[in-house]
Amino acid sequence: MSKEISLNSPLCSFQSKTGKVGLSLLAAGAVTLIAIVALAHLNLLPSGLNALSQVGPSIGLTLLIPTLLAGIAIYSRITRTPPSAKEVVHPPESPSSAVAELMEKFTNAWKPNSLSFEFTDVFNIERFKNILDNHVCRFKKSDFNISADYGYIEKYDLDPNTNPRIYVRADLHGDLKSLIENLRTLQEKGLLDKNFKCTPGAHLVFLGDYCDRGDYGTQVLELLIRLKEENPQQVHLIRGNHEDIDINLQFGRSDKNLRSLIIDQNCPLTTFYSTLSLTTYLSLENRGSREYMQFTHGLFEFGMDPAPLLDSELTEGYAIVPKKLQPSARITALKEEPGPLRATAERVHTIAKDVMNARKAQKEEQYTAYNWADVEMHNAVPDYTQVYLSARQFAVPPSDIQAYLDLSSERHRVAMIFRGHEHTFSHLIHDGRVLVTTLSVGMSGAYDKTRFPQDDRAYILTPNAQVNSWMKRAILRDREDDRTREITGLVSITSDAC
């Protein structure tokens, strides 16, 4: 957290007094030198000190130097940092009680009769900015350039010996109650311990859109930030299209805390948003061929080749996504060479070029398909030269999604996608199996009244070496209920049964 030294604080008072001592020593030393040199020059020293007439200046310097050094040392030490300077103090590596304390505070503020929270403390904007700043210090990518890059994608190859389980949840949109009840369910199911720290093998993936539309976006953010800080390698926060200041200005009106943040000129929200992954790939670590699940908010960029990341020997790694995207040399070569992937590579290469040109024409190069693209449920043939991301005119059909996944790795395979963004729960079926699962939006606030009722839904996934062998169970909750309504039995991840 940032610390500001008050001008009236005891420390500042001590600095002021000690600084005066240093100045006094400097003055005393200077007067001593002048007096001795002057008396020696005028032969006015006492007769017993005649020798000083020859060595007066030397004695003066001898007396002066320690005095000056003492004065300089004291004065410079005290005045090195101005009293009002701020310094960032990094949070502890794992503050064991932060999430538990927030959970208790938020739970106590819930009023079931009104289906709302009543907080007694006033939102402290400076404190919240410090939380964001500290998070940025810990999780920013040193090679990320906010003006040249969209962000980054990451991968984790999970250790099968930890018996991994993956929780995945989409668009919370300020639904603090849903987040609280989901975390309690994860605690009951053994993915979180009594202090809400991830147990070995547990991974929590949140698919973006944490604020806007709902009333408690800043509380959701704080809880997720603390969860990430306590579990840096096991909690994965993905960036949605609402992790954007301009979008917050349009859709964050009902959240007064968020409003106060986004109108603050020194608000670090934009740099905080840049610490969030655009996509997270998870697989089981395997010396042979690995099969990845892609977790994202929207979809992906046809011009971004994830193969160098996925094919690397790193069990954890990331790759920067530049704004000036071009089809990779690998994809370009594949479309020129005879082989089973030639037609697929040619299709992906063409789409990447069309999307890039359309973005330039629409002046939308600041938007990325990772958090803006939609899914077309049928195999239509879209006109990618007319892509308009911010108007939600970029829907990708199953065949083109499959084409991109088929080219995502040379050595491994990306088999399926979990995403959010479109708010309505659905399974996209392709070739007789689920290719994409879209999770539903949070259930809180006025936004719930603008759409058809649906379950508040999340999943717990059990990975395997092959994605076809992954299993899933759904966590279902009604908005008016305090607790989870149902946790379904295990079914295949490629099934549309739940």
Q: What are the boundaries of each domain within the chain? A: 2-87, 105-492
Residue corresponding to tokens 């979990």:
418
Which residues, other chains included, contact 214 with Cβ-Cβ below 8 Å and sequence gap of 6+? Answer: 172, 173, 174, 175, 176, 220, 254, 255, 442, 444, 445, 447
Residue 310 tokens, joined: 């996925």
pLDDT of residue 86: 22
Tell which residue, 210, 251, 213, 244, has the closest CA to residue 368: 244
For 187-213, write each residue's pLDDT tens digit.
Answer: 999 999 999 999 999 999 999 999 988
pLDDT(150) > 50: yes
- Of 73-77, 155-159, 413-417, the poorest mean pLDDT is in 73-77
Q: HSE of 284 in the Cβ direction (CA atoms, 13 Å)? A: 18
Residue 386 tokens, joined: 């007319």
pLDDT(338) > 90: yes
For 400-422, write each residue's pLDDT tens digit.
Answer: 999 999 999 999 999 999 999 99
pLDDT of residue 227: 98
pLDDT band per the 50, 70, 90 thresholds, residue 447: low
Residue corresponding to tokens 């954890």:
316
pLDDT of residue 79: 37
pLDDT band per the 50, 70, 90 thresholds, residue 65: low
pLDDT band per the 50, 70, 90 thresholds, residue 463: very high
Q: Which fold has domain 105-492?
A: Purple Acid Phosphatase; chain A, domain 2 (3.60.21)
- Of 234-238, 269-273, 357-361, the poorest mean pLDDT is in 357-361
% residues pLDDT > 90 (the chain) = 62
pLDDT band per the 50, 70, 90 thresholds, residue 40: low
pLDDT(164) > 90: yes
Q: How far apart are CA 222 and CA 228, in angstroms?
A: 10
State pTM to two decimals: 0.80
pLDDT band per the 50, 70, 90 thresholds, residue 365: confident
> Do residues 349 and 332 touch, judged by C-beta distance below 8 A?
yes
